[in-house]
Amino acid sequence: MEISLEGKVALVTGASRGIGKAIARGYADAGASVLLSSRKLDALESAAAEIGGDIDVMVANAGDPSQAEAAVAHCIERFGGLDILVNNAATNPYFGAAIDIDLDRYDKTFDVNLRGPLVWTQEAWRQSMRERGGSVLNIASVGGFLLEPGIGIYNTTKAALIHLTKTLAGELAPTVRVNAIAPGLVKTDMARALWEPAEERIAASMPLARLGEPDDIAHAALFLASDLASWVTGHTLVVDGGALLGPGARRSTKD
């Protein structure tokens, strides 16, 4: 099935690699004009050259409100509006027990992962979507539903983002839809430390018997941004290969 985003304008944060780049490529392939945003110009330009289509790039730190304001303004000036905002940028500067985290890294995690999506959504609403309508998509994580050693603060931001998604969906309805995707373990550079040492073992424990690829999330993001999801808001779509079903959920076909 082909899903069209012809005539739509999208802005994707954290779009230079991984899930963000895959979403931007999927939107561009579906006909949307896309602004790619992240912190490093060289990585953005490389991603843009790979993606092609009607795209532009702008350097912005997702945790900086002034840069969010400027990026949204640039998107509107460049493409004439903003229909789809994807809050994908995230960070995880700390691995360890939540009780031991220093406040600098705590604040950075919340600034990017939770305050960031709120600020970018505020700017999209104020500058375009209040009049134009649109769709906001937050990239959360299955970690928002779980207790996991070492990444408890990261997961706390994602749990809060899932709740923020519901809150904004209620406030911005009926003209703006707000949804989220909760990816499972996807083979990205950011998650490399979680999957690379034990990919085969982890995959064997999952009902669909493989780890996720960025395109798996991009496909869900394309659906939620499209008119096919016009009656979907406040929802968090889990895309995790069945991992949340838990160990033992996969039954051998030999049984």
| Active-site residue set | 154
Phi-psi region of 168 (alpha: psi -120 to 50; beta: other; left: phi over 0): alpha
E strand or H helix at 179, and its extent?
strand 176-183
Give the number of residues written for the chain: 255
**Measuring CA to CA, which residue among 125, 107, 109, 137 is closest to residue 13?**
137
- Measured in whole angstroms, the distance separating CA 202 from the mean position of its chain's CA atoms is 23
Q: What angle do CA 58, 167, 4 make, to 5 degrees?
A: 50
User: Is the bond preceding residue 174 a cis peptide, omega within 30 degrees?
Assistant: yes
Contacts of 68-76 spanning 24+ positions with Cβ under 8 A:
68/116, 68/119, 68/120, 68/123, 69/123, 69/127, 71/11, 71/35, 71/37, 71/120, 71/123, 72/11, 72/120, 72/123, 72/124, 72/127, 72/128, 73/127, 74/35, 75/9, 75/11, 75/35, 76/127, 76/128
d(CA 62, CA 224): 22
| Amino acid letter, 83 | D
